Structures are given as C-alpha cells and as structure tokens.
C-alpha cells in the first residue's frame, strides 16, 4: 500500500508544484495519473522514489515512511520502488542482459557490479522475466540495436529485477507508436496482476488510461481534482482537468464542448 498525505513540493520561493496532495494506491491496482503539462504528474512520481525531495508531507510504502529516510536506509528503500522511464534510461553500449542486471545493483557487493559477475539466480530470473516480455532472444544484443518498444521492455524487466513493492511508470508510451504503446500498457496491466504489484502510471494518452487502468487520477495545478473509475471520467470531468487545453492536445480525449459542436453540425 502506498499512502501519501498532505504532500507539498515547491522549488525555492516559487509557487508549490504539489499542493497538499493525498493519495492511496493499494496492492495489485493499476492507477493512471492524467493532466495537462505542468500539472505535477512527473513531480509526484519523482517524490515517491525521492529523485525529487518533497518539501513537506508524508509518503508511506507498506509501513515505511520514505520522506524520513537518509543514507543507507534510503538506498535500501529505493530498491523496493521500480521505475520505468519515458526515455528508457538504458546504457546503449551494454547488452540487454547487462542493462537488466543493473536492476540488481542495490543488492550486490561492489566487486560483482564492477566485474559484471552476476549470481546465477539473478541470471535465471532475468531470463525468466525477459522470456515473459518477449525479449529473451535479445539477451546478448546491445541496447542501441533495439526498437523503442523493445527498449522499453528492457526497462520494465530492469525495474522488475529489483523485486519492487510498487512499480512507477513515467510516460512509458510517450516515445512509442500506437501499436507498441498498447502492447506496453497491456504488459504493465498483466504484470501487476501476475506479480501482485501496485502500478502507478503517469500517462498522456487518456484513451489508454481508460482502457488499461482500473482507476484514473486527474491532476491540475498540483492538486487532485478527479479520482475514480474510467467510466466515471465523463466530459465534464475532462473539461475540469484540462481547462483551457485544446481538445487535440488532450491525449486522445475530446472535450464536451467539442463534442457538442460536432453533434450540432
């Protein structure tokens, strides 16, 4: 269970990017976060894994208060938080297997990491996960030789190698074509069920959020203004979340105003 209470993030004296935000994500749920650029979606995810330091508030993962941790305790906690990035964040000159094994660095002594002397059980787990997502045959191929969808699958496996208690995905389909995007979203949904993982996805494509996630959180100006099932995300809610944003920039969803205009033609 991820439990966030009164989370605030501000940069210097500027207005807060996150404003007293409250959110709970239970196990095995797939939750998407939608909103216009600048809503605070990516900042929220980065506060959870402490890539960005919260200004105040509480972030608790399965009973551990993450905002209080420092040093070794923080490093150990980060092992429990898997992260899938929009830009893949792979090391291009390394093989798929080597990139995947980087997800185990938090568990290995330094000499194993430097010499790339991975335990057999980690190699076996990597092959199992790569087989599951369809990239096992690329194990010895360099990362820069893969397509975007294949690279993102490597990123997913790398995150799962951490044996995380939650999986965060920051715009995981933004760099992919529509067909590959659907495949990645389907994969994340299936893995959440198979591995009993809560998955929190920051996503631009509202249609994908409605199709592949069980719950949608809508953000605007650092606040949550919608939290419900995909069927509850009606046109009025969309207009509130994306107020002032043209329909064509809403990630595939149209405003009620636009729909009424179409109906009147």
Spatial neighbors of 245 by CB under 8 A, at least 6 apart, are 36
Question: Based on the domain organization, do 235 and 118 belong to the same domain?
Answer: no
Q: How far apart are CA 49 and CA 46, in angstroms?
A: 5
Question: Based on the domain organization, do 157 and 170 belong to the same domain?
Answer: no
E strand or H helix that includes residue 169: strand 166-170
Q: How far apart are CA 239 and CA 15, in angstroms?
A: 24
Q: For position 218, which CATH number holds?
A: 3.40.50.300
User: Which of 103, 135, 163 is the last residue in one of the domains?
Assistant: 163
Flag the least confident range among 46-55, 60-69, 72-81, 246-255. 246-255
Q: How far apart are CA 101 and CA 95, in angstroms?
A: 10
The 10 Å Cβ neighbour count of residue 232 is 11
| Rounded alpha-carbon distances, angstroms, from residue 77 to 39, 47, 212, 235 | 27, 13, 28, 39
Q: Which of 207, 130, 215, 219 is nearest to 173 (CA)?
A: 207
Residue pLDDT, tens place only, 90-106: 999 999 999 999 999 88
Residue pLDDT, tens place only, 170-201: 999 988 999 999 999 999 999 999 999 999 99
Question: Based on the domain organization, do 118 and 134 belong to the same domain?
Answer: yes
- Answer whether residue 258 shows pLDDT above 60: no
Q: How far apart are CA 17 and CA 40, in angstroms?
A: 6
Question: Based on the domain organization, do 152 and 125 belong to the same domain?
Answer: yes
Question: Based on the domain organization, do 8 and 130 belong to the same domain?
Answer: no
Residue 139, domain extent: 89-163
Residue pLDDT, tens place only, 192-229: 999 999 999 999 999 999 999 999 999 999 999 999 99
The total number of structural domains that make up the chain:
2
Question: Based on the domain organization, do 202 and 121 belong to the same domain?
Answer: no
Q: Which of 176, 92, 96 is nearest to 188 (CA)?
A: 176
Question: Based on the domain organization, do 185 and 248 belong to the same domain?
Answer: yes
Predicted pLDDT of residue 250? 66
Question: Based on the domain organization, do 215 and 106 belong to the same domain?
Answer: no
User: Which of 146, 163, 180 is the last residue in one of the domains?
Assistant: 163
CA 178 to chain centre: 18
**CA–CA–CA angle 47, 249, 44 (5° rounding):** 5
Contact yes or no for 209/216 (Cβ under 8 A): yes
Residues linked to residue 58 through DSSP beta bridges, in sequence order: 5
Question: Based on the domain organization, do 109 and 148 belong to the same domain?
Answer: yes
Question: Based on the domain organization, do 140 and 175 belong to the same domain?
Answer: no
Question: Based on the domain organization, do 158 and 258 belong to the same domain?
Answer: no
What's the whole-number mean pLDDT along residues 47-64?
A: 94
DSSP 15: P
Cα dihedral 238→239→245→250 (10° resolution): 20
User: Which of 112, 138, 163 is the last residue in one of the domains?
Assistant: 163
Question: Based on the domain organization, do 21 and 58 belong to the same domain?
Answer: yes
Enter the pTM of the model: 0.88
199 conformational bin, left if phi > 0, alpha if psi -120 to 50, beta if neither: beta
């Amino acid at each position: 269970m991820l439990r966030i209470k009164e989370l605030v993030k501000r940069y210097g004296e500027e207005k807060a990017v996150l404003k007293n935000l409250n959110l709970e994500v239970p196990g095995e749920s797939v939750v998407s976060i939608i909103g216009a650029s600048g809503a605070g979606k990516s900042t929220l995810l980065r506060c959870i894994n402490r890539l960005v330091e919260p200004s105040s508030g509480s972030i608790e993962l399965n009973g551990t208060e993450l905002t209080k941790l420092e040093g070794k305790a923080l490093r150990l906690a980060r092992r429990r938080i898997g992260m899938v990035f929009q830009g893949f964040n792979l090391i291009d000159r390394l093989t798929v297997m080597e990139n995947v094994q980087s997800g185990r660095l938090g568990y290995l002594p330094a000499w194993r990491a430097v010499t790339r002397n991975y335990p057999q059980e980690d190699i076996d787990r990597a092959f199992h996960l790569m087989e599951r997502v369809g990239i096992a045959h690329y194990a010895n191929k360099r990362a820069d030789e893969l397509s975007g969808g294949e690279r993102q699958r490597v990123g997913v496996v790398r995150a799962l190698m951490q044996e995380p208690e939650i999986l965060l995905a920051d715009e995981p389909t933004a760099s992919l074509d529509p067909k590959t995007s659907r495949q990645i979203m389907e994969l994340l949904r299936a893995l959440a069920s198979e591995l009993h993982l809560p998955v929190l996805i920051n996503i631009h494509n509202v249609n994908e959020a409605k199709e592949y996630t069980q719950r949608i959180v809508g953000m605007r100006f650092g606040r949550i203004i919608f939290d419900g099932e995909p069927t509850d995300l009606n046109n009025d809610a969309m207009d509130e979340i994306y107020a002032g944003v043209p329909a064509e920039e809403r990630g595939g969803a149209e405003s009620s105003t636009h729909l009424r205009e179409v109906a009147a033609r």
